[in-house]
Structure 1
């Protein structure tokens, strides 16, 4: 027994990570929550011609989000550099794993004034849509889409090949 258990005190658990499917109908602890274990956040940086996984974005702590204050109005960050946080959900199909849901959310960062713009409702909506297997990338510029496509193919070509035609049409060669 740990010290907390022997003294009768209960350990507090302010943040629970649920590993298994919480929608199995048991109705107990964690019921009504969603699992994010199949989702990753990919940062697309068209300024530096790169894309990379940064799991910090799941908690608004990615490399590009740190040390800036976010403002809800894009006009307040007129010189902000464009970045995309792309929420990528992986599922397993009959041919193996594939990129099931992919949704890009815009952020603008101006390091010189330590200010940035992002629409939190849009980010939450895009995360949810990605989890539901939706592809939402039409609003991204062509250069950013190419960076994302190249990253997804390079990261795992088998998953790319197993992905839907819809994804491949939105992210053409």
Structure 2
């Protein structure tokens, strides 16, 4: 019995409607979004393109469960979707949204909400800033990463992002 081939989600470069108005019209272009993984305990951040398909180095080999309570002694991470856009002065961080994730390598289990991760990627693509869910340490790690990655892009970014990642010392 021959199975019907399904149309999967495609990552398309450039304008999907360029040249024709048929198949693929209205498809989403993901070439301006990058996933940044923040390791809260190590105090580090890095871009991991594998996270686009839930295959980052942190996620590989981990079965994700529905609640945090099911994963004892888990290490905290943040997956941050960073969308870059361009204005007259140059490129800038246009959309930045954070999603929580925890992983316990010893038991190969973790917690993340896949619908939340997908929705936050969509929000980032739509130029939203959602960083208020992050703890102060993680905000500082992300701010330092974004400024050191490209200071000009940081300077051209919105006040909403800069204020969202500003931590007040208590």
- TM-score normalised according to structure 1 size: 0.88
Q: How many residues align?
A: 161
Task: Determine which of 63, 70, 81 is the counterpart of 2:75.
Answer: 81
Paired residue for 2:64? 70
Paired residue for 1:28? 22
Structure 2 unaligned segments of length 5 or more: list them.
Answer: 1-6
- TM-score normalised according to structure 2 size: 0.89
| RMSD between aligned residues | 1.8
Aligned-pair CA distance for 1:24: 6.2
Determine the C-alpha separation between the residues in 2 that align with 1:93 and 1:150: 23
Determine the C-alpha separation between the residues in 2 that align with 1:154 and 1:21: 30
Paired residue for 2:106? 112
Aligned-pair CA distance for 1:32: 2.6
Structure 1 unaligned segments of length 5 or more: list them.
Answer: 1-12
Determine the C-alpha separation between the residues in 2 that align with 1:62 and 1:154: 22
Structure of greater Rg: 1
Cα shift readout 1:54-79 (whole Å, capped 9, x = no counterpart): 00000001011011111112211121
Aligned-pair CA distance for 1:22: 2.4
- After superposition, the Cα gap between the structure-2 partners of 1:23 and 1:131, relative to the gap in structure 1 and judged at 3 Å, is farther
Paired residue for 1:57? 51
